[in-house]
Copies of this chain bind each other. A is one copy, B any other.
């Protein structure tokens, strides 16, 4: 089976590596605007060939769209114009708008709206690695719009990569990821900005475990994250409002020297142990 990966970054590159290693794909065709990424993807054995988008679509049985969400929304209708019966899936972190963009397309049924909840804070082909998706969750949205055979083909690929499948409505997905992923990133970006503004060389010396884990996401790229914040604006603003409110609760109880209130806030938050093992 020949597979095309459009966008040879962290996620696209890791899909390419796993599909080849697990012999799901016999050949990987790569499409990327970035010449350095093209070169690196060939060099690291991520793709077998770099081809044009048109050639890629003609030759492939599966097309993976792994570019920033705003670019995916623009490109997907054009890809669907050219497919005959191929499977196309994306990997984006916002789902409502991309589904909206093709909802009346004659080939809508060939597009499986997918979100693998996997990744790191690094980007580009050199960040790609084998085994990224093992035991991770992949969310498929609005599966009722898919051709059953195409959906099954996508599910089989994800299962061979040892992913756990969940099925969501697109808006329900977008709300949920605002809470478990998007806000974590904004929290990290803001924390990094706070520390960088102080610019005390000792702070840099002291960066320890707790700091590292809360700030590491601030290395994430704006190419990926600006479009996510723009497209998932509504839910992100809702979460951000609650988050700032909770921080204000801490601020008030610290300012008023109220240890009972601080303790109550911390103990309530400890309840997160229900979610995280």
Contact = CB atoms under 8 A, between A and B. Distances in A.
A217 B41 CA distance: 37
B136 A208 contact: yes
Given A226-B266, A269-B193, A270-B222, A217 B216 contact: no
B118 A209 contact: yes
Number of copies: 2
Q: Which residue of A190, A218, A262, A270 has the most chain B CB atoms within 10 A of its CB atom?
A: A190
A36 interface: no
Contacts of A247: 186-187, 190, 240, 243-244, 247
A237 B220 contact: no
Interface in A215-269: 215-222, 225-227, 229-230, 233, 236-237, 239-244, 246-251, 254-255, 257, 259, 262-263, 265-269
A35 interface: no
Contacts of A268: 193, 196
A257 to B, nearest CB: 6
A230 B244 contact: no
A82 interface: no
Contacts of A276: 207, 212, 215-216, 219
Given A184-B210, A191-B187, A220 B266 contact: yes
Interface residues of A, number: 92
A196 B244 contact: no
A217 B269 CA distance: 10
Q: Which residue of A210, A237, A262 has the most chain B CB atoms within 10 A of its CB atom?
A: A210
A35 to B, nearest CB: 22
A118 to B, nearest CB: 7
A52 interface: no
A117 interface: yes
A44 interface: no
A114 to B, nearest CB: 14
Interface string A170-209: 0010011101110111111111111111101011111111
A119 interface: yes
A226 B259 contact: yes
B196 A229 contact: no
A273 interface: yes
A180 B233 CA distance: 29
20 contacts: A117-B206, A120-B209, A137-B208, A166-B206, A168-B202, A180-B195, A187-B191, A188-B269, A189-B265, A192-B270, A192-B272, A194-B239, A203-B275, A213-B214, A216-B276, A221-B266, A222-B266, A229-B250, A229-B262, A247-B247
